[in-house]
């Protein structure tokens, strides 16, 4: 399991700047792909009201994909639940007003699909319906992939979650090579972050540890800047 404090630094480094520089919207419904830190835990998609003012329904659909992700392996940890709720509030500040209703709707849909196709396939089916409705742009699709990886990493990524994210990314139009590259960036940042936190928890002196910590943080920034460039590349 990768559950550790590395996300508190890693995702913040990646997304604080993106909130200022990236403002493309979903082709249907106005979910902007500007990103901010979510209580210093995961990166999130910041909603932006479209011309018609119909933000809530689109946000609900986006949050539903995140909900299906944390359900797909049959076990929702406290870390996942907390990260999901924080990310959902970043997507839509009014999430709390319909959280119970949304969860009930998603649970009902997933239960019906899972009875016929199994939990993993059922979650994919429900997510695919949403993707087909949202029709995300290239940048939005990659940003969705990146944020799904962030959410999955809140307590360690299971094989079922990786499979789900890969499927959703493919249906959203993310090339397999791009998905693998984003996943590699995520894994690399996680490994570096874990090593950095182990150093900080060690009994070594501050003078010994701090230069190494700074070096790890530089490597994290380099990885996350590469990931940001990949997400923003409209050709990928």
CB atoms within 10 A of CB 3: 15
What are the sequence ranges of the domains in the chain?
A: 6-232
Helix ranges (H only) for the chain are 6-15, 18-21, 56-71, 78-91, 99-117, 119-134, 138-152, 159-172, 176-201, 206-232
pLDDT per residue, tens digit, the chain (236 aa), is: 333 332 333 343 333 333 322 222 222 222 222 233 222 333 333 333 433 444 456 678 888 999 999 999 998 988 889 989 988 888 788 899 999 999 999 999 999 999 999 999 999 999 999 999 988 888 888 888 988 988 888 777 889 999 999 999 999 999 999 999 999 998 888 788 788 888 888 888 888 888 998 998 899 889 888 988 898 887 66
Instruction: Say what the pLDDT of residue 21 is.
Output: 28
CA–CA–CA angle 150, 51, 105 (5° rounding)? 50
> Please, which residues have CB within 8 angstroms of residue 152's CB and are 6 or more apart in sequence?
69, 70, 158, 161, 162, 165
> Please, which residues have CB within 8 angstroms of residue 133's CB and are 6 or more apart in sequence?
28, 61
CA 187 – CA 226 distance, rounded (Å)? 13
Instruction: Say what the pLDDT of residue 57 is.
Output: 61
Instruction: Say what the pLDDT of residue 59 is.
Output: 75
> Please, which residues have CB within 8 angstroms of residue 130's CB and are 6 or more apart in sequence?
61, 62, 64, 65
Instruction: Say what the pLDDT of residue 108 is.
Output: 96
pLDDT tens profile 124-161 = 999 999 999 988 888 888 888 988 988 888 777 889 99
Instruction: Say what the pLDDT of residue 27 is.
Output: 28
> In 36-47, which positions are buried (b, 16+ CB within 10 angstroms) versus exposed (e)?
bbbeebbbbbbb
CA 44 – CA 1 distance, rounded (Å)? 22
């Amino acid at each position: 399991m990768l559950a550790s404090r590395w996300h508190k630094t890693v995702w913040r480094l990646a997304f604080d700047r993106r909130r200022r520089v990236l403002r493309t919207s979903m082709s249907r419904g106005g979910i902007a792909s500007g990103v901010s830190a979510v209580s210093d835990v995961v990166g999130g998609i910041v909603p932006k009201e479209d011309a018609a003012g119909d933000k809530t329904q689109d946000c609900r659909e986006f949050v539903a994909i995140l909900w299906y992700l944390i359900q797909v392996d049959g076990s929702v940890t406290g870390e996942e639940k907390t990260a999901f709720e924080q990310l959902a509030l970043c997507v839509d500040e009014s999430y709390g007003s319909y959280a119970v209703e949304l969860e009930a709707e998603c649970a009902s849909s997933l239960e019906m699909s899972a009875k016929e196709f199994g939990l993993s396939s059922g979650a994919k089916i429900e997510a695919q319906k949403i993707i087909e409705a949202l029709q995300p742009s290239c940048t939005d699709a990659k940003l969705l992939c990146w944020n799904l990886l962030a959410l999955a990493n809140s307590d360690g990524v299971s094989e079922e979650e990786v499979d789900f994210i890969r499927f959703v990314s493919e249906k959203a139009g993310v090339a397999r090579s791009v998905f693998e590259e984003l996943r590699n960036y995520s894994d690399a940042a996680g490994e570096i972050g874990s090593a950095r936190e182990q150093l900080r928890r060690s009994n070594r002196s501050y003078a010994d540890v701090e230069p190494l910590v700074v070096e790890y943080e530089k490597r994290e920034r380099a990885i996350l800047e590469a990931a940001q460039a990949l997400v923003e590349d409209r050709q990928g």
